[in-house]
Amino acid sequence: MSDPQSVLEASVSHLREVVAALDPQQYTAKAYPTEWSIADVMSHLGSGAVIMRHSIDTTIAGTAVADDFNQSVWDEWNAKLPAAQVADALVADQALMERVALVSASERESFQLSVGPMSLGFDGALGLRLGEHALHTWDIEVAADPNATVPADAAGLIVGTISMLVGFVGRPDGVERDISIHTTDPAGDFVLTLGAESVSLATATSPAVADLTIPTEALVRLVYGRLDPAHTPAGVDEALVATLRTVFPGF
């Protein structure tokens, strides 16, 4: 399983399993981002699914998304009760995947979705949804299971496209340096460059002795601001990770 559609489908199934294990009374409990409840996270995923499905429709049709469309979706979902936010998010999640499955090969080939400064092909758009979906599923799952991790298949795909995100969210810490990173499950080698005004992550062309060895899913969570000490895997260099938490404060 290596294509974004299959991995996203697996993430959708995983979220459904995570939610099925919850008692409805837990819907209002805090998720990992403490300003959000589990229902809030589900509402975010549900509204995101509706917006992405509409974006697929308009992109293929060659029409524009109405200026107020996204806000109208958010308003609708924010008005739902917690139980409806959870239940409806699962429905919207599945509806998005059913729409994805209907996109033809020719439509995929010509697909270009503008997201802020980015222009994404079809797989790129699915990868963007996967990053959001897998990390927010973790936000919910970890509230009940402190040992929860981002699934390896999702982490493996996300890390392959995370360099653009690193450039957006990384914050230089005033110390210019290169950090050699070796990831496990799946294995990979990267160079994290902290510059005077920028942060970048690139695949290492000549892997060096690693300054940091870390599971791939933990590196993904680090970039997303979700690798606090309580959720850092054993054996990872805590001192180095502590400095990198300031570089990736989360979003």
The CATH number that applies at residue 241 is 3.30.1050.10
Which of these ranges, 20-24, 48-52, 67-71, 203-207, has the smallest mean pLDDT? 203-207
Residue 139 lies in a domain: yes
pTM metric for this prediction: 0.94
Question: Do 219 and 154 contact (CB within 8 A), yes or no?
Answer: no
Q: Same domain for 25 and 48?
A: yes
Is position 153 within any domain? no
Residue 239 CA to residue 177 CA, distance in Å, equals 16
User: Each residue of 134-182: pLDDT tens digit?
Assistant: 999 999 999 999 999 999 999 999 999 899 899 999 999 999 999 999 9
Domain of 57, in residue numbers: 4-148
- The residues, ordered by sequence, that sit 6+ positions from 53 with a Cβ below 8 Å of its Cβ are 92, 95, 96, 99
